[in-house]
Structure 1
Amino acid sequence: MHLTSITPDQRLLDLQHAAYAIEAGIIGDDRIPPLHEDLTALRNAPLSWLGAFDDEGTLTGAVAWEETAHLVDINRLVVDPGALRQGIGRTLVKEVLARAGGRKVIVSTGRDNTPARTLYERLGFTNTGDAEVIPGLWITSYEL
């Protein structure tokens, strides 16, 4: 696997939709905004993207974040459903942490998304609470 900065394109959008469809199934709610995003909105989001590619050059995962001088906000983490449990998400998050250079890093995920929560907790993130972002849709926030 190799990591490189990427610009949003159709294959990233397809990967994002596939990954968030898995999360929607896990949490029992498909109202996750990136699940319904189109390519224009994806391109216009003020995010930095890092992609993970396999030896054949296939995009297998991606992470996006926003940053300030004091904070890095991991906005999205997506992994190809056919490549889950191979360490791709962990590798991507660890790279963002390395790039954060000691700044506080925050992230949130669906409250019932046990695989994502386990990933963040194993990487040392602290649970900072749950919030109902729209009626019936709960997220859990973390910081490191």
Structure 2
Amino acid sequence: MIKKIDITNSQFAEEVLSVQLPSYQVEAELIDFYDIPPLKDTVSMLQRCGEMFYGCYVDGELGGVISIKIEVGIIDIHRLMVHPKHFRKGIAGRLLEFIEGCGEGDETLIVSTGSKNTPAIYFYEKSGFVKTGEMKVMEGLLITSFEKERK
């Protein structure tokens, strides 16, 4: 079941963080870069980020989370994370499909991930996203950007 998460509620923010930290730790290992910002987030940082959060619950437990910001014509996916114990259960795909159903129907979805995160890159390409560029954020960290048109 997917439902909106009230990130301003500290209990829910803690629950999101309990998915985010292990999920991004796996990404850090994949890209061999351990200074990624999501690993430094705190409950209060999540509560102030201005993103809308949605969670996928598996048997009452939060298994995955997606967060977005919607602007005119754009749905910006800021986070898509699955707790490692729930990998390969289709949670990321369900969350992405849910977000694709949001908005007015003609927005462009955008997302980015570490360029060495081959599972995420494969996932986005398989989901119809097209690579739009690569950017060096800092020494040792390249980010690949994607977009997908919704009609």
Counterpart in the other structure of 1:99: 102
Counterpart in the other structure of 1:4: 3
Cα deviations by residue, 1:2-53 (Å, 9 ceiling, x for unpaired): 0000023211112101100000000000111011111110110010011000
Query: Where does 1:1-144 land on structure 2 (aligned, <5 Å)?
Result: 2-8=1-7, 9-55=13-59, 57-100=60-103, 101-144=105-148
Cα deviations by residue, 1:93-130 (Å, 9 ceiling, x for unpaired): 11111114220110000001011111110110000111
Question: Which range moved further: 5-14 or 74-83?
Answer: 5-14
Q: Give distance in 1, aligned partners of 2:85 and 2:53.
A: 21
TM-score (ref. length: structure 2): 0.91
Unpaired runs of at least 5, structure 2: 8-12
Shift of residue 74, structure 1, vs aligned partner: 0.2
Shift of residue 69, structure 1, vs aligned partner: 2.0
Q: Give distance in 2, aligned partners of 1:84 and 1:22.
A: 11
Q: CA-atom RMSD, angstroms?
A: 0.9
Counterpart in the other structure of 2:10: none
Identity %: 35
**Helix, strand or coil at the partner of 2:112:** strand
Cα deviations by residue, 1:117-144 (Å, 9 ceiling, x for unpaired): 1111011000011101112211100000
Q: Give distance in 1, aligned partners of 2:5 and 2:18.
A: 14
Unpaired runs of at least 5, structure 1: none
Q: Give distance in 2, aligned partners of 1:69 and 1:16.
A: 27
